[in-house]
Structure 1
Amino acid sequence: MSTMKTSIPMTMKALVTQENKTASLRDIPVPSIDDDELLIQNVAVAQNPTDWQYIDRVTNVDTIVGCDFSGYVVKIGKDVTSISVGDKVAGFTQGGNYTDRGAYAEYSKASADLVWKIPDGTVTWEDAATMGCAFWTAIQGLFHPMRLGLVEIPHKVEREQWIFVYGGSSSVGMFAIQLAHLAGYQVVTTTSPKNFDLCKSLGADAIFDYKDPEVSSKIKAVTKDTLHHVFDTICTLQTQTLAMKTFAPGPGKLIVIQPPQPDAQILREDVQIDHVLIYTALGRDFVLFGKFYPAAPEDRVHMVQFLKKVPALVEKGLVKPNPVKLWEGGLASINDGLRYMKEGKNSGEKIVYRI
């Protein structure tokens, strides 16, 4: 069991982006915090595709990699009243974008209202670390009024309504199935046959092999051609095209976690495609691939209010963390784990490291 350190050092180990599209472990200063922030001693950190993509494709040199963390609060800003030193928390940050803010380090920092407290005796550090980037993306994609705008838990939809989650065994997909199910929706999903049981255990009502050439017509049949909400967690031209073919007549909405594909959009002009980019929930300006994204206060407010619900969801066992694949070796082994994911070997599990 990890213990909280009694003193905060001046420097820490962190995985930092290099000019040659790699990341290396370096000693850098422990970050200072603002009045509304926390300093967290990381115990476990989880891996997402965005981590290797930020190193390989974005390459903001000298920035700390990693988004998902869980750990002990070791310092609080003077305006923080909701959280105390010693509390166990988990959260999400925009790795690969800041020199003093990222998860793949011995310490990370976060706004006090953008973490959730881990209830004692519930989930492990590793479990809690899985509930960051992907969990937040599922929350925003499903419930934000400007995304799918589904009925938000603890409320439930009053009549039978279907939602299609493409990629049910992806990290985002696993959380989306659970959250939509909790809100009373009927969930149809696609995955490979080896993950059928996993998706069923999370609350999926109908599951199909994504490689089945008849999959779109089967989804139309099981939903009785009533589908108006689709969440694509894979987001290629192929997946968005298939998603478009499952919609019922009339207006619909497709939420994607990668940029929308124009060739998919032309199939159904009455279906709106909207891109979820979860960094907007952090409430900060940022630049990605040369595009400026201004701070989105409404996205931050929505996430803050939802995160207040998470401890109770965890305590009651209503939301299960992603299945954990613990990767031995801590910070020094993260490059190996990123390579494994980049090669497409990761499925139905969340790679997590102990710090």
Structure 2
Amino acid sequence: MKGVLVDKPGAKMEVRSDLEKPEPSDTQILVKSVYAAIHPVDAFMADYGILVVDWPLVPGCETGGVVVKAGKDAVNPLGVPFKEGDEVFGCTRIGSKGYSPWQEYFLMDSQVTFPKPSNITLPQAATVGAGSLTAFLGAFDCLKLPLVDPENLPAPKDEWVLVFGGASSVGKNAVQTFKACGYKVVTTCSQKSFDLLRSLGADAMIDYKNTESEIIADIKKLTAGKLNYIMDAVSVNNALAAAIFAALTPTTTGDRLYTTTNDWDPLPDGSVGFSSYPILLGPIGRPESKDLNEKLAKYIPVIYKLIEAGKIKVGDYILHGEGVEGIQAAWDLQKSGKAGSSKVLVKIASE
């Protein structure tokens, strides 16, 4: 079986044709990789060994593919048994042998795998799995919001949430998730992404290049000084979040919560009166991550129905390269930043 391999942290990636084709357990599915997405965590794994369980490593974690074999107890989170030919997507078990979509066939854990809604294409599906799960963990696990009923969404409320990095994959999903919860959303992003974020439901955009004092002033004006929830979708805003909460302390009542995709740096000092929680999607699918997997299994049907209803719109993507041989060029494009807010995909095989 073909795939790409990294022998050790920082080593050059090479195409190999001698990888072992994995075999699914009773609760797993074997998936043909059709579209492989490039995700920031791929570089963390390959360059620094973060989240890697097994070396040598096949990087990659986000995918859209087709089931070729299903274990006898492989049931999707909507309660339907997986079968050969099903189109699926999501985030695979990260850093473990046999689970990467950067090889021709790979394993997925049925409990945390999305079936594809009929109103989106398979490449579109490949853009949304990891981002939507991360956003849901941030909103409903870390910020403690009640999980929404997708068939009876809350009425709009005059309360604000701040999302740092709204044009990122996680950010776009977070903006739409908070809107589904009824909140007003202000997000930071580049000016060129203002129209995109507005189309996804954001109520206000702030240029992330503005100074700290300018950002705080804008947020004070928008929210009338009342802000209880902040999510950092781009991992670099701990200090800014603390400064915003400090500035709004005199005018905000109730619990104040901050969550971030940054799970490696110390959390910000909450002495001004807020609590912080990192978003921890990394152990997805692992047997020891029972609590995480159970949460994700509850989130997936909600995300599925929100996508089906058009309440979560899938992201734009750039298809760059074909086959496992095309992964390096796609990865280089993603790391260059030239793809902007679009997800970079490789077409590994035909559908």
Q: TM-score, normalised by structure 2?
A: 0.87
Which is further off, 46-55 or 16-25? 16-25
1:99 equivalent in structure 2: 97
- What whole-Å deviation, never above 9, does each CA across 1:249-297 have from its counterpart, x for those lacking one? 25421111113654x723744222211121234244xxxxxxxxxx332
Please state whether the residue corresponding to 1:22 is helix, strand or coil: coil
1:258 equivalent in structure 2: 262
Task: Give the partner amino acid of 1:112.
Answer: S
- What whole-Å deviation, never above 9, does each CA across 1:61-96 have from its counterpart, x for those lacking one? 32221011111111111223522211111121134x
Task: Give the partner amino acid of 1:256.
Answer: T
For 2:74 and 2:334, how far apart are their aligned partners in 1? 37
Unmatched 5+ residue regions in structure 1?
Answer: 1-11, 285-294
Q: 1:119 to 1:261 in 2, by over 3 A?
A: closer
Q: 1:157 to 1:244 in 2, by over 3 A?
A: farther
1:319 equivalent in structure 2: 312
For 2:218 and 2:269, how far apart are their aligned partners in 1? 22
State the Cα distance separating 1:33 from its structure 2 match: 0.9
State the Cα distance separating 1:336 from its structure 2 match: 2.1
- The reply on whether 1:149 has 2:158 as its aligned counterpart is no
- Residues matched between the structures, number: 327
2:36 equivalent in structure 1: 45
Unmatched 5+ residue regions in structure 2?
Answer: 76-80
- The reply on whether 1:131 has 2:128 as its aligned counterpart is yes
1:291 equivalent in structure 2: none
For 2:12 and 2:272, how far apart are their aligned partners in 1? 41
Q: 1:74 to 1:181 in 2, by over 3 A?
A: same
State the Cα distance separating 1:316 from its structure 2 match: 1.9
2:188 equivalent in structure 1: 190
Q: For residues 176-325 of structure 1, what are the structure 2 equivalents within 5 Å?
A: 176-213=174-211, 214-236=214-236, 239-247=237-245, 248-249=248-249, 251-259=255-263, 261-262=265-266, 265-266=268-269, 268-284=271-287, 295-325=288-318
For 2:304 and 2:270, how far apart are their aligned partners in 1? 42
Please state whether the residue corresponding to 1:280 is helix, strand or coil: coil
For 2:147 and 2:63, how far apart are their aligned partners in 1? 25
Q: Does the aligned pair in 1 maintain the 2:111–2:293 contact within 8 Å?
A: no
State the Cα distance separating 1:211 from its structure 2 match: 1.0
Which is further off, 22-31 or 161-170? 22-31
- The reply on whether 1:69 has 2:60 as its aligned counterpart is no
Task: Give the partner amino acid of 1:79.
Answer: D
For 1:282 and 1:164, how far apart are their aligned partners in 2? 30
- What whole-Å deviation, never above 9, does each CA across 1:188-245 have from its counterpart, x for those lacking one? 0000000000001111001110111201211121011111110001222xx2222222
For 2:25 and 2:101, how far apart are their aligned partners in 1? 17
1:25 equivalent in structure 2: 15
Please state whether the residue corresponding to 1:308 is helix, strand or coil: helix
Q: Does the aligned pair in 1 maintain the 2:170–2:233 contact within 8 Å?
A: yes
Please state whether the residue corresponding to 2:73 is helix, strand or coil: coil
For 1:224 and 1:280, how far apart are their aligned partners in 2? 39
2:111 equivalent in structure 1: 113
Please state whether the residue corresponding to 2:346 is helix, strand or coil: strand
2:88 equivalent in structure 1: 89
For 1:210 and 1:310, how far apart are their aligned partners in 2? 28
Q: Identify which of 35, 43, 63 aligns with 2:26.
A: 35
Q: Does the aligned pair in 2 maintain the 1:66–1:94 contact within 8 Å?
A: no
Instruction: List, as ranges, runs of 4+ consecutive aligned residues in structure 1 with deviation greater than 6 Å.
Output: none
Higher relative contact order at CA 8 Å, sep ≥6: structure 1 or structure 2? 2
Q: Does the aligned pair in 2 maintain the 1:33–1:77 contact within 8 Å?
A: yes
- What whole-Å deviation, never above 9, does each CA across 1:119-150 have from its counterpart, x for those lacking one? 33x21111000112222111111112xx1112
Q: Does the aligned pair in 2 maintain the 1:256–1:276 contact within 8 Å?
A: yes
Identity %: 28
For 1:233 and 1:268, how far apart are their aligned partners in 2? 23
Q: TM-score, normalised by structure 1?
A: 0.86
Q: Does the aligned pair in 2 maintain the 1:260–1:274 contact within 8 Å?
A: no
